[in-house]
């Protein structure tokens, strides 16, 4: 079993990569890992993920009790996913720009567009828009997350799950690449529409 010390270092590293790759800005995004039983490791609220230190990470229980610090405001989303998916060990939520553009447009992503995502990813559905951090936002994901490891959050971002944090992060990277190629392929087919004024 991965030690808690290693998990903390891993979470700090992935937070740094999220920011380096512009998958988040400022204090956006959140990460969590199931520790076993009813315990979880989560990122704190209001801290840039690229600036995280191992001591910033917080332990929280399923009821949301956190002995110290202020955990991510998106804990209801993480909690509901862990309840619905006992197989999930880690969750990554971010605002990758290409994928978030599809989320804002209310458009699913079709993994069959690319050979490398056809079998591994499939469809990435978009759920209804809801206020982030609320039970309504958490509930909006439930119809999809039972059968999908990646979901777009309406006008918000994306959430991915995995057997560990590196797997959840890798899936987020894959979703972002799929979104980028989907839009570029549409433009290449002449389906992109007119460019905004000043860009033509």
Catalytic positions are 74
Q: Name 42's bridge partners.
A: 32, 58
CA 35 to chain centre: 19
Please tell me whether residue 39 adopts helix, strand or coil conformation: strand
Angle between helices 97-105 and 165-188 (to 10 degrees): 70
CB-CB contact of 73 with 133 (8 Å)? yes
Instruction: Tell me the CB-side half-sphere exposure of residue 92, using CA atoms within 13 A.
Output: 35
Angle between helices 4-20 and 165-188 (to 10 degrees): 20
By 3-state DSSP, what share of the chain in percent is helix, strand and coil, each rounded to 5? 40, 20, 40
CB-CB contact of 91 with 78 (8 Å)? yes
Please tell me whether residue 125 adopts helix, strand or coil conformation: coil
Q: Residue 63: how many CB atoms within 10 A of its CB?
A: 8
């Amino acid at each position: 079993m991965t030690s808690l010390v290693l998990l903390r270092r891993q979470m700090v590293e992935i937070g740094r990569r999220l920011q380096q790759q512009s998958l988040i800005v400022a204090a956006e995004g959140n990460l969590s890992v199931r520790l076993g039983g009813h315990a979880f490791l989560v990122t704190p609220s209001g801290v840039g993920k690229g600036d995280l230190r191992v001591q910033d990470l917080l332990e929280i229980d399923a009821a949301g009790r956190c002995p110290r610090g202020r955990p991510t405001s998106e804990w209801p989303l993480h909690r509901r996913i862990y309840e619905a998916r006992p197989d999930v060990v880690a969750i990554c939520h971010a605002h990758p720009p290409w994928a978030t553009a599809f989320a804002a447009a209310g458009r699913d992503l079709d993994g069959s567009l690319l050979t490398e995502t056809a079998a591994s990813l499939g469809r990435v559905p978009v759920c209804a828009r809801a206020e982030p951090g609320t039970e309504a936002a958490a509930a909006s994901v439930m119809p999809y997350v039972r059968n999908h490891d990646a979901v777009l959050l309406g006008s918000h971002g994306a959430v991915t799950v995995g057997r560990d944090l590196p797997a959840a992060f890798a899936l987020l990277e894959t979703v972002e690449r799929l979104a980028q190629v989907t839009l570029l392929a549409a433009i290449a087919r002449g389906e992109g529409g007119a460019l905004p004024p000043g860009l033509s």
